[in-house]
Copies of this chain bind each other. A is one copy, B any other.
Amino acid sequence: MHGKYASSFHENISKIRSLIVQASLAPGDRLPSERELAETLSISRASVREALRALSFLGIVETRHGGGTFLCEQDRHRYIEILSEFIVTKQTKASDIVDMLRLLERLAFSEVEPTPERVKLLEANLANDREFRQQLILGLDNELFIRIWSEVNRFYDGTDAGELYTIEERTQLLEMWRKVRMPE
């Protein structure tokens, strides 16, 4: 009748969400460990991880290596509100979108550690404006941030605008990033 594998991706997300509600977890609280969740919900740890990754992208939970998985603080949701309000109040002029993107990307430069691998990766994509910016953002360890950037950038792509930075600017940004964060 039923197949061997009973669980499914979306069901697992529902299960975890139900568990969060039943346990009356508040923002900031820690969820049971992945191993506990797997046993409690009778699914494999790999499936638990896929579900948690999805909830992470939805801005519902946040994982810390070695620490645990936590319910997101409500504050993180304000990213979205700020973005929405921005779009509304500013009437979405193209120039504002550009400002927003530049702001987010400058922030990324200050947050992301310039490891040799990342620097090399950005150098390789120096000629492609869009790729360059995307690779930079993907270095961030904040999935909600990535998602918001993705939204704004998609909006930007829809305007058929040209490059956000000239290649000279990109080169300069990269150089500055390396020097300021690794001074020697």
A92 touching B81, Cβ below 8 Å: no
Chain B residues contacting A10 (CB-CB under 8 Å) are 138-141
Whose C-beta in chain B lies nearest to the C-beta of A121? Answer: B14
A17 touching B77, Cβ below 8 Å: no
List the number of copies, as a whole number. Answer: 2
Partner-binding segment picked from A27-35, A53-61, A161-169, A171-179: A53-61
Bound together, the chains give a CA A50 to CA B9 distance in angstroms of 13
Interface size class of A (residues with CB under 8 A): 35 or more
A154 touching B46, Cβ below 8 Å: no
Chain B residues contacting A18 (CB-CB under 8 Å) are 121, 124-125, 131, 135
Q: Which A residues contact B (CB, under 8 angstroms)? A: 10-11, 13-14, 17-18, 21, 46, 49-50, 53-54, 57-59, 77, 80-81, 84, 87-88, 91-92, 117, 121, 124-125, 128, 131, 134-135, 138-141, 143, 146-147, 150-151, 154-155, 157-158
